[in-house]
A = this chain, B = another copy of it.
Amino acid sequence: MQNFFWHNPTAVIFGKDTVKELADHLKAANVKSVLLVYGGKGTFKSGAYTQVTEMLTKAGISFPEVNDVKPNPLIDKVREGIARVKAGGIDAILPVGGGSAFDTAKAIAAGSCYSGDVWDFFEGKAKITKALPIYGVLTASASSSEVNNIAVVSNPKSELKVSITSDVLYPKVSVIDPSFQFTLPVKQTVYGGVDIMAHILERVLDGDEGSELIDDQCYALLRTMIRVIPDLIDDPKNYDARADYAMAGMIAHSGFFSMGRIARGDFSSHKLGHSMSLLFGVAHGASLSVIMPAWSRYLYEDNPVPFARLGENVFDIYDGEDEDKALEAIETLEDFFRDINAPTTLRELGLKEDDIEKLAENACKVLPFGALKELNEEDVTEIYKLAY
């Protein structure tokens, strides 16, 4: 097991009707005004907008807004938020939504304390040292952004979808009320679920010996997701399934499962997926259900062990050599994605064979990446081809 440092200071208020509990935390921190950051329709439909604004009004906290945050959020929206904060009078940022709202909020929180352009952070030209405090309300689980120190933002101009990480970006307090997710479109529940699974798969398949304890915890979480995603397709208002899904979503990419791993995960599939989102607007979860099986097929013959262990521990595959188990595990995962109507090929997403080159070119901009194998340009192209 590798040495590690663990510190996750975010407080979580989890459960039904808990938004009102956020007021005490805001008051204790003497917050008088927050910048409300959210998307659109979904925030209203879930009831979150009403509950949050009522809570703030009752607490005497003003809440200027930045809204219309999109999935795969854009740097221009971040700049809009920063401009609003710099106009004055904002004590904290309050995202209401999923990972996009939280990621936008984090970038605004950091950019508001910086005199240059916020994209500098994403390009590594400046280091984040300070940020406004973040208090968030989650309405869609997937990214763990509600409890981690990461923000992923897209810049169409420079054709980059990249992340920033800083310990000042941990939300102070996040409210996770699983019942806000009752009204999510089925597709979003499925894609969010794939993303949660991918955060775990990126770790258990990274080739690091890590810790058997943490691997066992990872496998248990994958089995939970394989149980609850179909439950939620059948009944989107199944509270206990929503709660397990939301808790899994919170833990999966919180850093907890990186303990003891040298690589802290592989994350090639995430990088390859980012190019699909950036160039073709593919939903993040859909990019992962396409690319993870392709990445796996490309690498399992040279590295059968992690895939075989996945097969044994998640899919009860015990027959054959490691290589056989590995292939069966990949096929079973792919079958699961198909069963829940997640795409597994670029073709299904409407991409053409010619697009592979564009994808590869874009992904190669952020090479090197990968832990099970550090990928090169040829690998990247071959994986996209397999995904086609």
Question: Chain A interface (Cβ within 8 Å of chain B)?
Answer: 1-16, 18, 21, 209, 211-214, 216-217, 219-221, 223-224, 227, 239-240, 243-244, 247-248, 259-260
On chain B, the residues within 8 Å of A248 by CB distance are 213
- 11 further A-B contacts with Cβ under 8 Å, apart from A4-B14, A7-B9, A209-B240, are A1-B247, A3-B14, A3-B16, A4-B15, A5-B14, A8-B8, A211-B243, A212-B224, A216-B221, A216-B224, A243-B260
Shortest beta-carbon distance, A334 to chain B, in Å?
23
State how many copies of this chain the complex holds: 2
A11 in contact with B18 (CB, 8 Å)? no
Residue of B nearest to A222 (CB): B216
A240 in contact with B1 (CB, 8 Å)? yes
A5 in contact with B12 (CB, 8 Å)? yes
A221 in contact with B227 (CB, 8 Å)? no
B211 in contact with A217 (CB, 8 Å)? no
User: What's the Cα separation between A72 and B61 when bound, in Å?
Assistant: 49
Instruction: Check A213/B221 contact, CB under 8 A, given A3-B14, A14-B3, A260-B247.
Output: yes
Instruction: Check A7/B15 contact, CB under 8 A, given A1-B244, A216-B220, A227-B212.
Output: no
On chain B, the residues within 8 Å of A259 by CB distance are 14, 247
User: What's the Cα separation between A1 and B250 when bound, in Å?
Assistant: 15
